Amino acid sequence: MTTSQLDFVQSTIPGVIVIRRTRVEDSRGFLSRLYAADAFHAIGVRKPVAQINHTLTRRTGTVRGLHFQQPPHAETKIVSCVRGEVFDVAVDLRKGSPTFLRWHAEVLSPENLRSLVIPEGFAHGFQALVDNCELIYLHTASYTQDAERGVPAIDPAIGISWPLGISEMSDRDRSHQLLNADFEGVQL
């Protein structure tokens, strides 16, 4: 689906959608649309944006994630990189999904004008490919600490091929338990 400034492309995992934005430019600069409710509604994102976050990751190679929220606080995220360049990853954790534990990644940057729609039931994380990366996240649910969960970014059950060696990760992200055979996924 294409709108005047947003082109939605289905990724290799149903529900994970790559957004290719366009710029409207003139001598003053440019405008690039990050969100249009009617366009997102048309691709199945029907819940309103409940929270917007802005992050800065200072060091190349840093990995943040993989994070998600349990129902009833499950959220869709729309992630855009407004400075730098990141390897952005969505991991399917949906119970019973034919793509369970598969992942899809996109390089996001202000130059390539790509964003990623990450549906409910997916974990999300990214790796900074350069210093000083800034991301804008639109969330369809507010952060709820008791619903927050995570899986290790280096979990062999998922097998993400991070493009760089991991230079930094938070203690919280390092403490996530590896998935085991008993993990059936997130029931939506």
Mean pLDDT for 127-137 is: 98
DSSP 50-110: -EEEEEEE-STTBEEEEEEE-TTS---EEEEEEES-EEEEEEE-BTT-TTTT-EEEEEE-T
* pLDDT recorded at residue 25: 87
* pLDDT recorded at residue 4: 61
Domain boundaries, the chain: 6-23+31-174
The CATH class given to the 6-23+31-174 domain equals mainly beta
* Annotated catalytic residue, options 67, 104, 139, 176: 67
Catalytic annotation present for 67? yes
Mean pLDDT for 121-134 is: 98
Closest among 98, 186, 181, 115 to 150, alpha carbons compared: 186
- pLDDT tens digits, 66-109: 999 999 999 999 999 999 999 999 999 999 999 999 999 999 99
Percent of the chain with pLDDT over 70: 98
* Annotated catalytic residue, options 35, 73, 137, 143: 137
Mean pLDDT for 15-22 is: 96
pTM: 0.94
Catalytic annotation present for 35? no
* pLDDT recorded at residue 114: 97
* pLDDT over 80 at 2, yes or no: no
d(CA 85, CA 87): 7
* pLDDT over 70 at 1, yes or no: no
